[in-house]
Structure 1
Amino acid sequence: MLQSKPSRAGSSLLLLAAVIGFAVAIYAWLTPLTGVTGTIGALGVAIACVLLAILTFLLRAASARGARIFLIVVTLVVLIGIGFAAALLHQYIITAAMVAGLIGLIMLSNDSTRHQRRVNA
């Protein structure tokens, strides 16, 4: 099934947010003098970003309405959690990436409601 442009753009934006979050969290976890070197918080954010990427691929593949709604809610919770944890770690680049990911999730959720309508004769 071909995806529309908002769907591709939304999932690409969400995936880009996950990749940026993972890269910055790993950088902060490994690099000395970042303030969070070797902490469980930075590693947790990196693992959560991997989970966000997996949720993005699952959301792209889901076609049932209930599954899409469930994945959208779970993805929203993960986005908010990563953004909050990154703010507590003073890694505001990750928080900004999660805001961009939220925009991508909104694009994905708007696209899913537009194409699922049925016509009754």
Structure 2
Amino acid sequence: MVGAALGIAVAAYYYFVPLTGVNGTIGAGLVLFSTVAMLIAAALMPLFSSKAIYMTLGLLCLLDVFLTALAGYFLHEWLLIAAMVVALVGVIRAISRFSVIHRHQGARV
């Protein structure tokens, strides 16, 4: 969630502030939308105990991270790429943590 929030801040800056080179463009708007969607998905992940739903949201977040970083590369938004690196670490940690928690819970039953 931290990486997504950082991504929103960076994307909003580049979209709304004049003279950034990409302000008001469709690409910057799509990046802003994708980071908001990433934050929503990251916030919803802990609410699901179903492995299928959790992993689906995790994989969609992972896809969102890579595609947003690619868009940041094309838009020359290096801070956005750095925010997506933070988000990537978070997504990988969340997915691996869910697997470890459920593996240990299954052993206790």
TM over 0.5: yes
Structure number with the bigger relative contact order (C-alpha 8 A, sep ≥ 6) is: 1
Alignment of 1:74-89 (within 5 A): 74-89=60-75
Paired position in structure 1 for 2:27: 41
In the superposition, the TM-score normalised over structure 1's length comes to: 0.82
1:21-76 CA-partner distances (Å, limit 9, x unpaired): 11111111122221102101111111111100100011111111111111111111
Matches for 1:97-116 after TM superposition, within 5 Å? 97-116=83-102
Runs of 4+ residues deviating >4 angstroms? none
Q: Percent identity?
A: 32
Letter in 1 for 2:38: L
| Alpha-carbon RMSD | 1.5
Q: Match for residue 76 of structure 2?
A: 90
Gaps of at least 5 residues in structure 2 are none
CA distance in 1, matches of 2:28, 2:107: 49
Normalising by structure 2, what TM-score? Answer: 0.91
C-alpha distance in structure 2 between counterparts of 1:120 and 1:55, whole Å = 30
Structure with a larger share of its residues in helix? 2
Aligned residues: 107
Counterpart position of 1:119? 107
In structure 1, stretches of 5+ residues that fail to align are 1-14
Secondary structure in 2 matching 1:119: helix
**Deviation of the 1:120 alpha carbon:** 7.9
Which residue pairs with 1:32 in the alignment? 18
